A and B are shown apart, each in its own frame.
Chain A
């Protein structure tokens, strides 16, 4: 298996799909000549030309709207947001058009559109450039939302997103682009809506996605040294959510900690916690704990930024709480 970076796994997914289907094109700020602000579209302009790898002006609402229109008449656009912080400018297009046209046209139109790009905090990018906005999109009926955490999942899920007949939002954590991982040779896809148990364990279930998944795997090793055997579940897809895999894990451990980088209020972890409580109340030995970012804009200062985000220490504390160890 090839050992490649997360950014290259995404690039492979797009290039392979564009070779397969000439209706697919990529559009966004600096995706062509500059080869992507985060170098995800490296080599694509050269291979597919300026008709299919299109540099746009700084007009998120505009090019997202163009993408939706193109999708309605039979093309399959991939819209790259330079960061998801800028997607806020295109939310009217995404929420009012992309998510609803299929329903409002009685199925006469579909919108096979992918909106992808980096999100989350990186290193001192301050409040406006460090946001995790998954829950905003998860809230919207009509959208699918994926958040792969490792290169293999990134490639397989993005391919499924491109082939989907409905709009899919793909969150790529900015801090993950350089992370490496095994990616299978040859053609493969990972279905949307299927979670993955990334580490087996029996004492407590940790649920996390994207960058937080990697933090949970590291923390699970630390917990193992303290005699606590944590299972780590990666939902991979935030909407739709694979509750079956999550519940199977909870049946084993009876205790749950959900880790989310975003703010706590009305977050994705709140949704997952509610579903677990509703569907698995009788097998819980403790209230579901959530470890999230603090409920404030992310500060610029390094020490304050760290303090505002989830950390292994906070996760260990929550694990001990659900196990009644402290």
Chain B
């Protein structure tokens, strides 16, 4: 019997994947468990394994195409099996080429026989019925304004999730029966009305106004860029951020770092690593900064899992160090190096980039004095670290040249207030300026 191979849903946030490469070609034998293709998700590049043994009879999606999770991409069957019957009952994959999307019609390839070739035909699939664009791809229409007190149809789960995430149900258009808002709608609710309304799709066949877009090239966002765009809007809109900045004298911790490096079992530590530990120790004393906001209550998390923002070529991802407060500097350093390296290769597993309770973002190496970072929901705070600057410092009535860093704490005002933020920074400063705490 023919076995279906579908684009997997490898993470909770994954809605579609890019088929980067087929390791096996049509007609090749595959064993259950063999990697047969490489797919790019919104966070990582992963291998797709065969769930059945047999012959890869049909590839329906060529390399370089984007397909929604769950759509059929290939069939594995016995070598002599006729799969025409099976294929005739299957929906064609809702795929599109990765590079360009939504380019204005006048800049598309001139119409001609070639332009008529659908991806299905390119892929060698018979009977290529033009498939309508997948539902999720269409820009979400803005929810119609609802009158105050008007009944909102939402599943109980969707209501609970909306409350936890601080999302106003009135701003969401439900995709369920009768317009019921479902779990998926909440997960997809990142794009607020204004943004969705600003980018309506020109109905097919309708002439695009000349003045619509300035000259230029449209390039599709990478999967991770899209995920970031969605998550950050999810954060800024409902989470009322405020920012508190403090300047820390770095003299002693820099000497401490040099001594650590020179010691016989020396480790070379980066500032990020030192700050991760210092933040973890600070978090022990500030339960509200390891809380998850849930509407009328907060969940105070026991395990201090701190995230480190890692810049990668097309975006940023958070590498999570679990139980950071209980790890030694050497352990943290080893883990950070491994995870940063793999993050840059898009090799982090979902459990390695999700679930932090607080994050650290360091732009010190890029010569910035200070900056404010956006909180990743459902975390309550993020610490932004600037560059070490040489400064005149008054010490015992004398002016000397010292080195300082400006750190900015972003806080979710629903959970914590200015005084707590100030005390958090004071505690952090105390640890950084007395680095022996870090060796405990």
Contact = CB atoms under 8 A, between A and B. Distances in A.
A284 B156 contact: yes
Interface string B4-36: 101011000000000000000000000000000
A282 B157 contact: yes
Contact of A285 (B4, B70, B183): B183
Given A225-B3, A227-B9, A324-B182, A283 B175 contact: no
Nearest to A277: B156
B156 A281 contact: yes
B157 A254 contact: yes
A285 B175 contact: no
A250 B334 CA distance: 40
A283 B156 contact: yes
B182 A282 contact: no
B131 interface: no
A226 B6 CA distance: 8
Interface residues of B, number: 18
A267 to B, nearest CB: 23
Contacts of B183: 254, 285
Contacts of B69: 227
Given A227-B70, A324-B182, A283 B157 contact: yes
Interface in A262-287: 281-286
Contacts of B157: 254, 282-285
Nearest to B154: A285
Nearest to A325: B70
B7 to A, nearest CB: 9
B155 interface: yes
Contacts of A286: 155, 176, 182
Contacts of B70: 226-227
Contacts of B175: 324
Contact of B4 (A226, A281, A283, A284): A226
Nearest to A286: B155
B3 A285 contact: no
Contacts of A281: 156
A282 B160 contact: yes
A282 B156 contact: yes
B158 interface: yes
B426 interface: no
B135 to A, nearest CB: 11
Nearest to A229: B9
Nearest to A203: B9
Given A227-B70, A324-B175, A324-B176, A284 B155 contact: yes
A225 B72 CA distance: 10
B156 A324 contact: no
Interface string B54-98: 000000000000000110000000000000000000000000000
A324 B160 contact: no
Interface of B: 3-4, 6, 8-9, 69-70, 155-160, 175-176, 182-184
9 contacts: A227-B69, A227-B70, A254-B183, A284-B155, A284-B156, A285-B157, A285-B158, A286-B155, A286-B176
Interface of A: 225-227, 254, 281-286, 324
Given A227-B8, A283-B160, 9 more contacts: A226-B6, A226-B70, A227-B6, A227-B69, A282-B157, A286-B176, A286-B182, A324-B176, A324-B182
